[in-house]
């Protein structure tokens, strides 16, 4: 999955919410940031081992160690200045 700078920011916010124990805020951040794609992104995060789901049904998301590393890596990427072109 290729991530734009916007996508990186959304994932940093969402994974940060999980770190704070706020699973509803995680889902909200994905929904607001990715719109109709949010559930697909959530599913990909689970299938790639960045989050795990506990409990019945769709489960409550929680971060994995791999997800924590991803959030730190993305936070560094997000902070990288982007060259702007003048038109």
Helix (H) or strand (E) holding 63: strand 60-63
In a domain, 85, yes or no: no
Q: Interior CA angle at 35 toward 30 and 37, to 5°? A: 80
Total number of domains constituting the chain: 1
pLDDT band with cut points at 50, 70 and 90 for residue 2 = confident
pLDDT digits (tens, 9 = 90+) for 39-69: 999 999 999 999 999 988 878 999 999 999 9
Q: Is residue 52 part of a domain?
A: yes
Domain assignment present for 30: yes
CATH of the domain at 71: 1.10.10
pTM to 2 decimal places = 0.81
Number of H helices and number of E strands within the chain? 4, 2
Indicate whether 60 belongs to any domain: yes
- Look at residue 86 and tell me if it is in a domain: no
Residue 84 covered by a domain? no
The pLDDT value given to residue 4: 86
Alpha carbons 26 and 9: distance in angstroms, whole number:
13
Q: Is residue 87 domain-resident?
A: no
Please name the residues in contact with 64: beta carbons below 8 A apart, sequence gap of 6 or more. 49, 50, 51, 52
């Amino acid at each position: 999955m290729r991530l734009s700078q916007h996508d990186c920011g959304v994932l940093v916010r969402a994974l940060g919410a999980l770190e704070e124990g706020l699973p509803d805020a995680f889902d909200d951040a994905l929904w607001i940031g990715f719109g109709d794609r949010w559930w697909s992104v959530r599913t990909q995060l689970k299938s790639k081992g960045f989050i795990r789901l506990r409990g019945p049904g769709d489960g409550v998301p929680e971060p994995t160690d791999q997800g924590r590393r991803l959030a730190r890596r993305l936070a560094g990427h997000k902070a990288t200045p982007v060259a702007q072109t003048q038109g």
